[in-house]
């Protein structure tokens, strides 16, 4: 059985721009860098940025969601610096935004339990509790 996420690698076209976005906007800590990559600590998540000549963003709803103990502050910072790609229609407050290479990200104020609780009265969702 999987215990947890080990790391996430995202392809980026401009390494310096991507590092600046993740450190300045999201508060990541730069741990190592080299000409074609960087390792960052993003709230305990090992994030690898790997330079590529081209990056093709996905056209579907695939995205990575983050949490913050300072949701309101982070949400305002993100809205001021990142492009929003989707309005929130799910349980809990969320901001859906893009990084400089078009990777779809979300800041969400909730967890799996709050999401499941919001489904308790729905007939179209089977809960396996």
Which amino acids are annotated catalytic? Answer: 106
What is the number of other CB atoms lying within 10 angstroms of the CB of residue 45? 15
Q: What phi and psi, each to the nearest 5 degrees, are found at residue 32? A: -160, 150
Q: Is the dihedral of CA 76, 90, 84, 56 positive or negative?
A: positive
- 84 bridge partner residues: 97
CB of 38 closer than 8 Å to CB of 30: yes
């Amino acid at each position: 059985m999987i215990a947890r996420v080990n790391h996430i690698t995202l392809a980026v076209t401009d390494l310096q721009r991507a590092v600046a976005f993740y450190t300045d906007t999201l508060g990541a800590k730069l741990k190592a860098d080299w000409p074609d990559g960087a390792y960052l600590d993003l709230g305990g998540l090992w994030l690898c940025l790997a330079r590529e000549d081209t990056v093709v963003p996905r056209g579907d709803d695939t995205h990575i969601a983050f949490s913050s103990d300072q949701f309101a502050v982070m949400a305002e910072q993100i809205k001021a610096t990142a492009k929003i790609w989707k309005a929130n229609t799910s349980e809990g407050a969320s901001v859906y935004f893009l990084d400089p290479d078009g990777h779809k990200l979300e800041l969400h104020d909730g967890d799996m339990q709050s999401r499941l609780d919001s489904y308790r009265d729905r007939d179209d969702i089977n809960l396996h509790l």
